[in-house]
Amino acid sequence: MSLAIPDKIIPANTLTQHVSWARYKTCPLYFGRGAANRYDAPDNSYGVLYLGQDLSTALMESVFHKHQWATVKKRTLSQSEVNQRMVRFVDVQADLRLADLTAPNVVASQFGLNLAQLASRKYGRLQKMSRTVHDLLDAAGQARFDGICYPSRNNPMAFANNDPALMIKQVGDIATDKTGAIVVAPIDPPSLAPALKKVIGGGAYVGAIVPPPATTVLNAPQYLTGKVLAEAAADYIRTRLGGKAKVVLLTHDSLQFLAPRFTAMRDTLRALPGVTIVADISPATVDKDGGYRTMKTILLAQPNIDVVLGADTVVLGALAALREAGKARADQFLGGIDGEQEAVVEIKKGDSPYKASISLASSIFGYAMGQQAADWLDGKSIPQAMDILPKALTSTNIADYEKDTANPGAVYADPSRRVAYLKMYGNICFDTRGNYINFPWSSEAK
């Protein structure tokens, strides 16, 4: 059976979490075979272990998994219930390849299920899907996946699927429900702004990834981010390619907040006389498919490419096109921005064309925004703005990076480690919430 299911790589040394009864403290982790839970084997032929990437998900999928949220909005735990539970941290020993059921439209297109069926407490269809994924084989006849990455029924995120109107509705619903904190990555900032202002005015924490308005704006020094990647590529061109290279820039200049990245790349590469930028183009979609399609077109005119730079997701698509065309080489330099897990896997191979990724340490800034939301709800002052500092990941430093991102709480709690990833500006609290940022903030603005 051939199914188009994307991979979700969980890197080695990632810490996952598991909540169970304290009476099992001395027992090994249990892979259930009772066909009683959502993705269990329908015929009990294999065991399933359920893990969460954070404590809230592990709690909601274990302690609260039978709670009827549609009718009872709140649920408290007694001290007695707390004492009967334990949390285990499970360290991933080797990279895990999961079938990514959280990817847009995968469940509908590959399994014919809708959201209601995915969230249903009748598990027959989902167990059948588990069995199908379990039995999939790769080209070598080995198991294609180690498990499933699936959306939490009880601890969901709101996915707008690139639909600005849907995102406005979701934020409006959050305001109506008087949710205490949200983190948002706006699709269309101008149209979403009124809804976010309403949430801020109601006293909730709003953390925005780049565009305002927000209680706290998260940004990266975008010019510096592009410069760090371009300088890594320039050094490679000088030392490994004899100072000459044909370069492809996969940009998104139409996004005002990200355009400085690509200005920095052009400025840096312009200083190398042997470099020719043979393509400087924005893919139609800023995703893996967009990178793949754009690179296929470029290869028709320029079959021998030395360097490809852009966001990780589009550069990974370009890598797929190069490999398909037989034009991928070990001496190429492909580099991206974002520290995507698939890019990290490529870098760790050693012989991959993918040489670097500029990490913005999403687990660390995600933890920071979560902690700041908690501080806000406790009545504390929090930063108005926060820079996530770019870090070039290469095969020489990736182990230390993975150690830090696997335990972001420890990094955030230690100022000497946190300063390598985050820089904070200003202060705001509930009483001064009217002073929220409502302009395109950047630490690089002059």
Question: Which residues in 104-180 belong to E strands, given as ranges?
Answer: 147-149
The CA distances from residue 46 to 135, 147, 287, in Å, are 11, 11, 35
**Strand 96-100 relative to strand 147-149: parallel, antiparallel, unpaired?**
parallel
Structure tokens at 90: 């499970």
| Residues above pLDDT 90, as percent of the chain | 48
Q: Any idea what the Cα angle at residue 175 is, between residues 171 and 180, rounded to 5°?
A: 105
* Per-residue pLDDT at 83: 81
Sequence-distant (≥ 6) Cβ neighbours of residue 235 within 8 angstroms = none
The answer, yes or no, to whether residue 408 has pLDDT greater than 90, is: no
What does the alpha-carbon distance between residue 101 and residue 108 come to, in Å, rounded to a whole number?
A: 10
Structure tokens at 236: 């490679």
* Per-residue pLDDT at 335: 97
Tens of pLDDT along 273-312? Answer: 999 999 999 998 878 889 999 999 999 999 999 999 999 9
C-alpha 172 chain-centroid distance: 24
Tens of pLDDT along 315-336? Answer: 999 999 999 999 999 999 999 9
Tens of pLDDT along 43-66? Answer: 999 999 988 877 767 777 777 655
- Cβ neighbourhood burial of 362 (10 Å; 0-12, 13-18, 19+): middle
Residue pair 246/307 in contact (Cβ under 8 Å)? The answer is: yes
The answer, yes or no, to whether residue 419 has pLDDT greater than 60, is: yes
User: How many Cα atoms are found within 13 Å in the side-chain-facing hemisphere of 378?
Assistant: 9
* Per-residue pLDDT at 70: 47
Please choose, from the candidates 229, 238, 235, 278, the residue with its C-alpha nearest in 3D space to the C-alpha of residue 258: 229
* Per-residue pLDDT at 277: 98
Alpha helix positions (H), 246-311:
259-270, 288-301
C-alpha 311 chain-centroid distance: 13
What does the alpha-carbon distance between residue 402 and residue 315 come to, in Å, rounded to a whole number?
A: 21
Question: Residue 392: what are its φ and ψ, rounded to 5°?
Answer: -80, 120
* Per-residue pLDDT at 138: 84
The string over 177-198, giving b where at least 16 C-beta atoms fall within 10 Å of a residue's C-beta and e elsewhere, is eeeebbbbebbebeebbebbbe
Average pLDDT rounded to a whole number, residues 140-144: 89
What does the alpha-carbon distance between residue 2 and residue 24 come to, in Å, rounded to a whole number?
A: 40
Alpha helix positions (H), 202-247:
222-240
* Per-residue pLDDT at 15: 80
* Per-residue pLDDT at 177: 72
Q: Any idea what the Cα angle at residue 205 is, between residues 200 and 208, rounded to 5°?
A: 85
Average pLDDT rounded to a whole number, residues 184-211: 92
Please choose, from the candidates 312, 317, 316, 299, the residue with its C-alpha nearest in 3D space to the C-alpha of residue 246: 299
In whole numbers, what is the pLDDT of the chain averaged over residues? 87
What does the alpha-carbon distance between residue 386 and residue 210 come to, in Å, rounded to a whole number?
A: 10
* Per-residue pLDDT at 69: 45
Tens of pLDDT along 298-308? Answer: 999 999 999 99
Question: Residue 277: what are its φ and ψ, rounded to 5°?
Answer: -85, 105
Average pLDDT rounded to a whole number, residues 342-353: 90
Domains and CATH numbers, the chain: 7-149 (no CATH), 164-220+361-435 (3.40.50.2300), 222-359 (3.40.50.2300)
* Per-residue pLDDT at 426: 96
The answer, yes or no, to whether residue 172 has pLDDT greater than 60, is: yes
Average pLDDT rounded to a whole number, residues 68-74: 51
The CA distances from residue 334 to 224, 232, 365, in Å, are 18, 10, 25
Average pLDDT rounded to a whole number, residues 208-215: 92
* Per-residue pLDDT at 64: 64
Please choose, from the candidates 437, 74, 374, 365, the residue with its C-alpha nearest in 3D space to the C-alpha of residue 205: 374
Question: Which residues in 322-435 belong to E strands, given as ranges?
Answer: 333-337, 354-359, 385-388, 391-393, 422-425
Tens of pLDDT along 60-70? Answer: 777 765 545 44
- Whether this prediction's pTM lies above 0.85 is answered by no
Question: Residue 8: what are its φ and ψ, rounded to 5°?
Answer: -125, 110
Residue pair 313/344 in contact (Cβ under 8 Å)? The answer is: no
Read off the pLDDT band of 161 (50, 70, 90).
Answer: low
Sequence-distant (≥ 6) Cβ neighbours of residue 26 within 8 angstroms = none
SS3 98: strand
Tens of pLDDT along 230-256? Answer: 999 999 999 999 999 999 999 987 777
Please choose, from the candidates 33, 11, 372, 326, the residue with its C-alpha nearest in 3D space to the C-alpha of residue 216: 372
- Cβ neighbourhood burial of 92 (10 Å; 0-12, 13-18, 19+): middle
Q: Angle 398-406/341-349 helices, nearest 10 degrees?
A: 150
